[in-house]
Structure 1
Protein backbone atom coordinates (compact mmCIF):
# COMPACT_ATOMS: atom_id res chain seq x y z
CA UNK A 1 0.00 0.00 0.00
CA UNK A 2 1.43 3.37 -0.97
CA UNK A 3 1.74 6.18 1.55
CA UNK A 4 -0.75 8.39 -0.34
CA UNK A 5 -3.34 5.57 -0.17
CA UNK A 6 -2.81 5.29 3.57
CA UNK A 7 -3.17 9.05 4.03
CA UNK A 8 -6.57 8.95 2.32
CA UNK A 9 -8.04 6.67 4.99
CA UNK A 10 -10.08 8.79 7.37
CA UNK A 11 -12.32 8.12 10.36
CA UNK A 12 -16.08 8.19 9.77
CA UNK A 13 -19.05 7.62 12.05
CA UNK A 14 -21.77 5.11 11.26
CA UNK A 15 -25.11 5.01 13.03
CA UNK A 16 -26.33 1.60 14.23
CA UNK A 17 -29.28 0.18 16.05
CA UNK A 18 -28.69 0.72 19.75
CA UNK A 19 -27.08 -2.33 21.33
CA UNK A 20 -25.82 -3.65 17.98
CA UNK A 21 -22.48 -1.79 17.96
CA UNK A 22 -20.24 -4.80 18.68
CA UNK A 23 -22.22 -7.02 16.31
CA UNK A 24 -21.84 -4.43 13.52
CA UNK A 25 -18.10 -4.13 14.24
CA UNK A 26 -17.64 -7.92 14.05
CA UNK A 27 -19.74 -8.21 10.87
CA UNK A 28 -17.79 -5.45 9.09
CA UNK A 29 -14.44 -6.94 10.17
CA UNK A 30 -15.55 -10.35 8.85
CA UNK A 31 -16.72 -8.86 5.53
CA UNK A 32 -13.41 -6.99 5.16
CA UNK A 33 -11.43 -10.20 5.76
CA UNK A 34 -13.63 -12.25 3.40
CA UNK A 35 -13.38 -9.70 0.59
CA UNK A 36 -9.70 -8.85 1.15
CA UNK A 37 -10.52 -5.17 1.71
CA UNK A 38 -8.02 -4.49 4.51
CA UNK A 39 -6.50 -1.66 2.44
CA UNK A 40 -9.88 0.12 2.13
CA UNK A 41 -11.41 -0.51 5.56
CA UNK A 42 -8.51 -0.35 7.99
CA UNK A 43 -10.07 -0.16 11.45
CA UNK A 44 -13.46 -0.41 13.16
CA UNK A 45 -13.88 0.87 16.70
CA UNK A 46 -16.54 0.95 19.41
CA UNK A 47 -15.03 3.34 21.99
CA UNK A 48 -15.61 2.20 25.58
CA UNK A 49 -14.66 3.54 28.99
CA UNK A 50 -14.31 1.78 32.33
CA UNK A 51 -16.96 2.73 34.88
CA UNK A 52 -16.95 1.77 38.56
CA UNK A 53 -20.40 0.75 39.77
CA UNK A 54 -21.45 0.07 43.34
CA UNK A 55 -23.82 -2.91 43.54
CA UNK A 56 -24.90 -4.36 46.87
CA UNK A 57 -21.95 -2.67 48.57
CA UNK A 58 -19.41 -4.14 46.13
CA UNK A 59 -17.62 -2.07 43.57
CA UNK A 60 -17.55 -3.53 40.07
CA UNK A 61 -15.83 -2.25 36.99
CA UNK A 62 -17.70 -2.52 33.72
CA UNK A 63 -17.17 -1.09 30.29
CA UNK A 64 -19.65 1.44 28.96
CA UNK A 65 -19.94 2.53 25.34
CA UNK A 66 -18.85 6.15 24.97
CA UNK A 67 -21.13 6.69 21.95
CA UNK A 68 -24.09 4.29 22.15
CA UNK A 69 -25.62 3.69 18.73
CA UNK A 70 -22.45 4.66 16.85
CA UNK A 71 -19.41 2.85 15.45
CA UNK A 72 -16.26 4.57 14.21
CA UNK A 73 -14.61 3.29 11.05
CA UNK A 74 -11.31 4.18 9.41
CA UNK A 75 -11.66 3.71 5.69
CA UNK A 76 -11.06 4.98 2.20
CA UNK A 77 -14.50 5.71 0.77
CA UNK A 78 -15.06 3.90 -2.53
CA UNK A 79 -18.28 2.55 -3.98
CA UNK A 80 -17.33 -0.93 -2.73
CA UNK A 81 -16.31 0.08 0.82
CA UNK A 82 -19.39 2.33 1.16
CA UNK A 83 -21.62 -0.54 -0.04
CA UNK A 84 -20.12 -3.07 2.42
CA UNK A 85 -20.58 -0.73 5.40
CA UNK A 86 -23.98 0.66 4.37
CA UNK A 87 -25.43 -2.83 3.75
CA UNK A 88 -24.18 -4.36 7.00
CA UNK A 89 -27.07 -5.63 9.12
CA UNK A 90 -27.70 -3.19 11.97
CA UNK A 91 -26.22 -0.13 10.20
CA UNK A 92 -28.73 2.67 9.59
CA UNK A 93 -26.30 4.92 7.73
CA UNK A 94 -23.27 7.15 7.82
CA UNK A 95 -23.37 10.29 9.93
CA UNK A 96 -23.51 13.22 7.52
CA UNK A 97 -25.96 15.04 5.26
CA UNK A 98 -28.14 12.59 3.26
CA UNK A 99 -26.14 9.69 4.78
CA UNK A 100 -23.09 10.89 2.82
CA UNK A 101 -19.97 10.09 4.88
CA UNK A 102 -18.27 13.12 6.44
CA UNK A 103 -14.78 12.47 7.80
CA UNK A 104 -13.92 13.37 11.38
CA UNK A 105 -11.28 16.05 11.81
CA UNK A 106 -7.91 15.08 13.29
CA UNK A 107 -8.89 17.04 16.41
CA UNK A 108 -12.16 15.10 16.79
CA UNK A 109 -10.34 11.78 16.40
CA UNK A 110 -7.77 12.83 19.01
CA UNK A 111 -10.46 14.07 21.44
CA UNK A 112 -12.32 10.76 21.14
CA UNK A 113 -9.11 8.87 21.91
CA UNK A 114 -9.80 6.42 19.09
CA UNK A 115 -6.38 6.56 17.58
CA UNK A 116 -3.52 6.97 19.99
CA UNK A 117 -0.32 8.41 18.60
CA UNK A 118 1.03 5.49 16.61
CA UNK A 119 3.92 7.42 15.10
CA UNK A 120 6.24 6.02 17.76
CA UNK A 121 6.70 2.40 18.69
CA UNK A 122 6.75 1.75 22.40
CA UNK A 123 9.68 -0.21 23.71
CA UNK A 124 8.30 -3.06 25.78
CA UNK A 125 10.66 -3.65 28.67
CA UNK A 126 8.39 -6.03 30.55
CA UNK A 127 7.47 -9.69 30.14
CA UNK A 128 4.94 -12.15 31.53
CA UNK A 129 5.25 -12.49 35.29
CA UNK A 130 6.87 -9.05 35.80
CA UNK A 131 5.64 -6.76 38.56
CA UNK A 132 4.38 -3.46 37.13
CA UNK A 133 2.91 -0.11 38.17
CA UNK A 134 -0.04 1.34 36.22
CA UNK A 135 0.59 4.90 35.06
CA UNK A 136 -2.43 6.60 33.53
CA UNK A 137 -6.06 5.75 33.01
CA UNK A 138 -8.64 4.69 35.59
CA UNK A 139 -6.20 2.27 37.32
CA UNK A 140 -3.41 4.85 37.75
CA UNK A 141 -1.24 4.00 40.74
CA UNK A 142 -2.28 0.34 41.02
CA UNK A 143 0.38 -2.37 41.09
CA UNK A 144 0.02 -5.65 39.27
CA UNK A 145 1.53 -8.63 37.47
CA UNK A 146 1.72 -9.11 33.69
CA UNK A 147 -0.36 -12.14 32.61
CA UNK A 148 -0.44 -11.72 28.81
CA UNK A 149 1.17 -9.45 26.22
CA UNK A 150 -0.48 -8.73 22.85
CA UNK A 151 2.03 -6.95 20.60
CA UNK A 152 -0.47 -6.56 17.73
CA UNK A 153 -2.97 -4.63 19.84
CA UNK A 154 -0.23 -3.06 22.02
CA UNK A 155 -2.09 -4.27 25.12
CA UNK A 156 -1.07 -6.17 28.22
CA UNK A 157 -3.40 -8.18 30.42
CA UNK A 158 -2.48 -7.39 34.01
CA UNK A 159 -3.74 -8.78 37.31
CA UNK A 160 -4.09 -5.88 39.72
CA UNK A 161 -5.02 -6.12 43.37
CA UNK A 162 -8.29 -4.27 43.81
CA UNK A 163 -10.74 -4.42 46.69
CA UNK A 164 -8.75 -7.26 48.24
CA UNK A 165 -8.76 -9.55 45.20
CA UNK A 166 -6.87 -10.09 41.97
CA UNK A 167 -8.66 -8.43 39.04
CA UNK A 168 -7.59 -8.88 35.40
CA UNK A 169 -7.54 -5.65 33.37
CA UNK A 170 -6.37 -4.89 29.86
CA UNK A 171 -4.00 -1.95 29.62
CA UNK A 172 -2.26 -0.25 26.74
CA UNK A 173 1.54 -0.52 26.75
CA UNK A 174 1.99 3.18 27.54
CA UNK A 175 0.03 2.65 30.81
CA UNK A 176 2.43 -0.03 32.08
CA UNK A 177 5.71 0.69 33.87
CA UNK A 178 7.96 -2.16 35.04
CA UNK A 179 8.86 -2.04 38.73
CA UNK A 180 12.63 -2.38 39.07
Structure 2
Protein backbone atom coordinates (compact mmCIF):
# COMPACT_ATOMS: atom_id res chain seq x y z
CA UNK A 1 0.00 0.00 0.00
CA UNK A 2 1.32 3.41 -0.83
CA UNK A 3 1.79 6.18 1.68
CA UNK A 4 -1.15 8.48 1.05
CA UNK A 5 0.42 11.43 2.85
CA UNK A 6 3.38 11.66 0.47
CA UNK A 7 3.41 14.81 -1.68
CA UNK A 8 4.65 12.67 -4.58
CA UNK A 9 1.41 10.69 -4.68
CA UNK A 10 -0.87 13.67 -4.13
CA UNK A 11 0.82 15.66 -6.94
CA UNK A 12 0.99 12.73 -9.42
CA UNK A 13 -1.10 12.53 -12.60
CA UNK A 14 -3.88 10.06 -11.89
CA UNK A 15 -6.00 8.11 -14.37
CA UNK A 16 -9.07 5.91 -13.97
CA UNK A 17 -8.98 2.19 -14.65
CA UNK A 18 -12.00 -0.09 -15.17
CA UNK A 19 -11.68 -3.47 -13.45
CA UNK A 20 -13.37 -6.78 -14.09
CA UNK A 21 -16.35 -7.41 -11.77
CA UNK A 22 -15.22 -7.96 -8.16
CA UNK A 23 -11.53 -7.93 -9.13
CA UNK A 24 -10.42 -4.50 -7.84
CA UNK A 25 -8.02 -6.08 -5.33
CA UNK A 26 -6.50 -8.39 -7.95
CA UNK A 27 -5.90 -5.47 -10.33
CA UNK A 28 -4.36 -3.35 -7.52
CA UNK A 29 -2.00 -6.13 -6.51
CA UNK A 30 -0.81 -6.80 -10.06
CA UNK A 31 -0.41 -3.12 -10.94
CA UNK A 32 1.63 -2.47 -7.77
CA UNK A 33 3.95 -5.37 -8.58
CA UNK A 34 4.71 -3.97 -12.05
CA UNK A 35 5.61 -0.45 -10.90
CA UNK A 36 2.33 1.43 -11.17
CA UNK A 37 1.05 3.51 -8.24
CA UNK A 38 -2.53 2.59 -7.36
CA UNK A 39 -5.13 4.18 -5.14
CA UNK A 40 -8.39 2.45 -4.24
CA UNK A 41 -10.31 4.29 -1.50
CA UNK A 42 -12.30 1.95 0.76
CA UNK A 43 -15.30 2.40 3.02
CA UNK A 44 -17.01 0.22 5.61
CA UNK A 45 -20.08 -1.68 4.44
CA UNK A 46 -22.50 -3.84 6.35
CA UNK A 47 -22.69 -7.46 5.12
CA UNK A 48 -25.29 -9.94 6.28
CA UNK A 49 -24.34 -13.60 6.12
CA UNK A 50 -26.28 -16.39 7.78
CA UNK A 51 -28.22 -13.92 9.87
CA UNK A 52 -25.12 -12.19 11.23
CA UNK A 53 -24.01 -8.65 10.52
CA UNK A 54 -20.36 -7.97 9.71
CA UNK A 55 -18.63 -4.76 8.70
CA UNK A 56 -16.15 -5.13 5.86
CA UNK A 57 -14.01 -2.83 3.75
CA UNK A 58 -15.17 -2.41 0.16
CA UNK A 59 -14.09 -0.10 -2.67
CA UNK A 60 -15.85 3.27 -2.70
CA UNK A 61 -15.95 3.18 -6.51
CA UNK A 62 -16.92 -0.39 -7.25
CA UNK A 63 -15.20 -1.53 -10.43
CA UNK A 64 -12.75 1.37 -10.65
CA UNK A 65 -9.30 2.23 -9.27
CA UNK A 66 -7.02 5.22 -9.73
CA UNK A 67 -3.65 4.53 -11.33
CA UNK A 68 -0.54 6.63 -11.87
CA UNK A 69 2.41 5.68 -14.06
CA UNK A 70 4.97 5.86 -11.22
CA UNK A 71 7.87 3.65 -12.31
CA UNK A 72 5.73 2.21 -15.12
CA UNK A 73 5.74 5.43 -17.20
CA UNK A 74 5.31 4.71 -20.89
CA UNK A 75 4.00 1.21 -20.21
CA UNK A 76 0.27 1.88 -20.52
CA UNK A 77 0.01 -0.88 -23.13
CA UNK A 78 0.77 -3.48 -20.39
CA UNK A 79 -2.48 -2.65 -18.60
CA UNK A 80 -4.74 -4.43 -21.09
CA UNK A 81 -3.27 -7.85 -20.36
CA UNK A 82 -3.12 -7.53 -16.55
CA UNK A 83 -5.35 -9.85 -14.51
CA UNK A 84 -8.39 -8.01 -13.19
CA UNK A 85 -8.15 -5.12 -15.68
CA UNK A 86 -10.67 -4.33 -18.44
CA UNK A 87 -9.40 -1.00 -19.74
CA UNK A 88 -7.88 2.36 -18.98
CA UNK A 89 -10.49 5.09 -19.31
CA UNK A 90 -9.63 7.44 -22.15
CA UNK A 91 -10.88 9.06 -25.30
CA UNK A 92 -10.43 6.91 -28.39
CA UNK A 93 -6.85 6.01 -29.22
CA UNK A 94 -5.35 9.04 -27.51
CA UNK A 95 -3.60 8.95 -24.15
CA UNK A 96 -5.60 8.01 -21.06
CA UNK A 97 -7.87 10.69 -19.60
CA UNK A 98 -6.56 12.55 -16.56
CA UNK A 99 -8.63 12.65 -13.37
CA UNK A 100 -8.73 16.21 -11.97
CA UNK A 101 -5.90 16.51 -9.43
CA UNK A 102 -8.19 17.95 -6.74
CA UNK A 103 -10.48 14.90 -6.80
CA UNK A 104 -7.78 12.35 -6.01
CA UNK A 105 -5.95 14.67 -3.59
CA UNK A 106 -9.20 15.30 -1.70
CA UNK A 107 -9.91 11.58 -1.44
CA UNK A 108 -6.38 10.83 -0.26
CA UNK A 109 -6.59 13.47 2.45
CA UNK A 110 -9.79 11.91 3.79
CA UNK A 111 -8.32 8.37 3.90
CA UNK A 112 -6.39 6.79 6.75
CA UNK A 113 -3.10 4.89 6.25
CA UNK A 114 -5.00 1.78 5.06
CA UNK A 115 -6.99 3.67 2.43
CA UNK A 116 -10.21 3.63 4.50
CA UNK A 117 -12.29 6.74 3.84
CA UNK A 118 -12.97 8.59 7.09
CA UNK A 119 -16.20 10.44 7.68
CA UNK A 120 -15.75 14.11 8.39
CA UNK A 121 -18.68 14.21 10.78
CA UNK A 122 -18.54 13.81 14.54
CA UNK A 123 -21.94 12.99 15.95
CA UNK A 124 -22.90 13.33 19.61
CA UNK A 125 -25.62 11.72 21.67
CA UNK A 126 -28.77 13.86 21.70
CA UNK A 127 -28.12 15.61 18.35
CA UNK A 128 -30.86 15.82 15.74
CA UNK A 129 -29.91 14.23 12.41
CA UNK A 130 -31.57 13.62 9.05
CA UNK A 131 -31.07 10.31 7.22
CA UNK A 132 -30.12 11.01 3.59
CA UNK A 133 -30.43 7.60 1.91
CA UNK A 134 -31.65 4.06 2.40
CA UNK A 135 -35.06 2.85 3.57
CA UNK A 136 -35.38 5.67 6.13
CA UNK A 137 -34.37 8.52 3.79
CA UNK A 138 -35.56 11.97 4.92
CA UNK A 139 -36.43 10.79 8.45
CA UNK A 140 -35.33 13.16 11.20
CA UNK A 141 -34.27 11.49 14.44
CA UNK A 142 -32.33 12.01 17.66
CA UNK A 143 -29.06 10.15 18.20
CA UNK A 144 -29.34 7.68 21.05
CA UNK A 145 -25.64 6.75 20.96
CA UNK A 146 -22.64 6.19 18.65
CA UNK A 147 -20.90 2.82 19.02
CA UNK A 148 -17.21 1.93 18.69
CA UNK A 149 -17.68 0.94 15.04
CA UNK A 150 -18.99 4.51 14.44
CA UNK A 151 -22.55 3.39 13.69
CA UNK A 152 -25.12 5.97 14.69
CA UNK A 153 -28.00 4.51 16.71
CA UNK A 154 -31.22 6.51 16.56
CA UNK A 155 -34.81 6.21 17.77
CA UNK A 156 -37.30 6.51 14.93
CA UNK A 157 -41.01 7.08 15.38
CA UNK A 158 -42.52 4.40 13.11
CA UNK A 159 -46.28 3.85 13.15
CA UNK A 160 -46.66 5.39 16.57
CA UNK A 161 -43.92 3.43 18.35
CA UNK A 162 -40.23 4.11 18.92
CA UNK A 163 -37.88 1.79 17.02
CA UNK A 164 -34.10 1.62 17.45
CA UNK A 165 -32.16 1.70 14.16
CA UNK A 166 -28.40 1.64 13.44
CA UNK A 167 -27.39 3.93 10.57
CA UNK A 168 -24.11 4.33 8.69
CA UNK A 169 -22.68 7.82 9.47
CA UNK A 170 -22.17 8.40 5.73
CA UNK A 171 -25.97 8.33 5.35
CA UNK A 172 -26.78 11.06 7.87
CA UNK A 173 -26.34 14.81 8.14
CA UNK A 174 -26.98 17.26 10.93
CA UNK A 175 -30.61 18.38 10.93
CA UNK A 176 -31.23 22.09 10.60
The normalised TM-score by structure 2 is 0.48
The normalised TM-score by structure 1 is 0.47
| Larger gyration radius, structure 1 or structure 2 | 2
